[in-house]
Amino acid sequence: MNTNEQYDEAIKTCEDIFLKKTKDYGTSWRVYRTISVVDQIYIKAKRIRTIQEKGVQKIGDDILSEFKGILNYAVIGLIQLDKQTDETEDLPLEEVAKLYDQKIAIAKKLMQDKNHDYGEAWREMSQESFADLILTKLLRIKQILLNKGATIMSEGIDANYYDIMNYAVFAMILIEEGKHSR
């Protein structure tokens, strides 16, 4: 399989989880503010890092499932940025699926462009680096929020979410290839 096919496979499993949870819970996540989405991703990335450092996992969800959750929360964050409302409106499943696919298409295009320029350097990276990069992006988003959304020369919150999504996909691909632990 090539990278595009592996990317699509990883996304397919994440989207399946996302849409099934939407059927179960509706779009209860619409209540999340940006900081809450960031904290949800932080919890998952911090758990990955803790498991990596301690070498022991005591609850069921493995590292792969945490990367899937990180990706899905980043999609939620992007949708919430677009909706820009405190409303907790319940979105129809079809609209959620469409919004999900839109965000993924943007992330995939970004991945393809960066792979062109960087020569798929991510394939040589450690799982630890992906966790650290995700945590760094979250700290950047928190700083942007403290700056009331203003940046001087940096990308915005959305760009950080897209990078988080792609780091999560890269980690999932390398786990599936057996190059990283579950």
Give me the number of domains the chain comprises.
Answer: 1
The pLDDT score that the predictor gives to residue 22 is: 97
Residues 6+ apart with CB under 8 A from 19: 93, 96, 97, 100
Residue in 127, 1, 121 with CA at minimum distance from that of residue 55? 127
Q: Three-state SS for 42?
A: helix
Residue 66 CB partners (closer than 8 Å, separation 6+): 44, 45, 47, 48
- Nearest one of 78, 177, 179, 166 to 130, comparing CA atoms: 166
Contact residues for 32 (Cβ-Cβ < 8 A; gap 6+) = 40, 76, 77, 80
* Domain contains 101: yes
**Is 182 inside a domain boundary?**
no
Q: Is residue 58 part of a domain?
A: yes
Specify if 181 maps to a domain.
Answer: no
Domain membership flag for residue 69: yes
Specify the pLDDT at position 165.
Answer: 98
Does some domain include residue 100? yes
Q: What is the pLDDT of residue 1?
A: 72
Reading the block at residue 48, the tokens are 């990955």
pLDDT < 50 stretches in the chain: none
pLDDT of residue 75: 98
Residue 72 near residue 18 (C-beta atoms within 8 A):
yes
Task: Quote the pTM value.
Answer: 0.95
Owning domain of residue 85: 3-176
Residue 110 lies inside a defined structural domain of this protein:
yes
Assigned domain for 171 exists: yes
